[in-house]
Amino acid sequence: MKGKALGSFRNEIAAALPALRRYARALTRNAELADDLVQDTLLRALRSEHLFHGGDMRSWLYTILTNLNRNRLRALARRPPLQAIEEHDAPEHPQSGGRDIERALAALVEEQRATLLLVVLEGLSYRETAEVQGIPIGTVMSRLARARTQIKAYLDGGRPALRRIK
């Protein structure tokens, strides 16, 4: 009986693997880093099988991946920043629309980008996204609205409005 349950658990993880990789690659914008993040997610899920009490396996795995990525970002924040060389000075071509969207996504703060990717790319509902990120559903809607506004402003050639903090 337990062997059958273990097989089913592993089959559900295997079925979620393409979606996990897609989300991790969009989140990190680096294929190698994304693959490492997915591998760490799978290891944590397999070790924590006893903590999974049913429900949506994909949401559970997204939660693990999101938390691992947060931990990675916190660790990076403690290190001195490195500035990557970008192609920002390259002339624009009509075929560069994909790059514009990629740059617009890169310009978003991490929380907004992660929320947008979970809803738009992975098709999670607002409620599922809130559960994965451990935030209220209103925060999900707020982050989405801000992310969409900033992406639209970026693609329209304008600068996103800066919020004043008093």
pLDDT computed for residue 142 by the predictor: 95
Distance CA 24, CA 22 (A): 6
pLDDT at residue 164 tops 60:
no
Average pLDDT for residues 100-120, to the nearest whole number?
88
The architecture (CATH level 2) of 96-161 comes to: Orthogonal Bundle (1.10)
* pLDDT recorded at residue 162: 56
How many beta carbons lie within 10 A of that of residue 24, not counting itself? 26
CA distance 6 to 3: 5
Predicted confidence (pLDDT) at residue 65 exceeds the cutoff of 90: yes
Read out DSSP for 97-116?
HHHHHHHHHHHS-HHHHHHH
pLDDT reported for residue 89: 42
Choice between 143 and 81, residue whose per-residue pLDDT is larger:
143
Q: Where are the domains of the chain?
A: 1-78, 96-161
Position 1 confidence tier, pLDDT thresholds 50, 70, 90: very low
pLDDT of residue 47: 93
Q: What pLDDT was estimated at residue 105?
A: 85
Task: Report domain 1-78's class.
Answer: mainly alpha
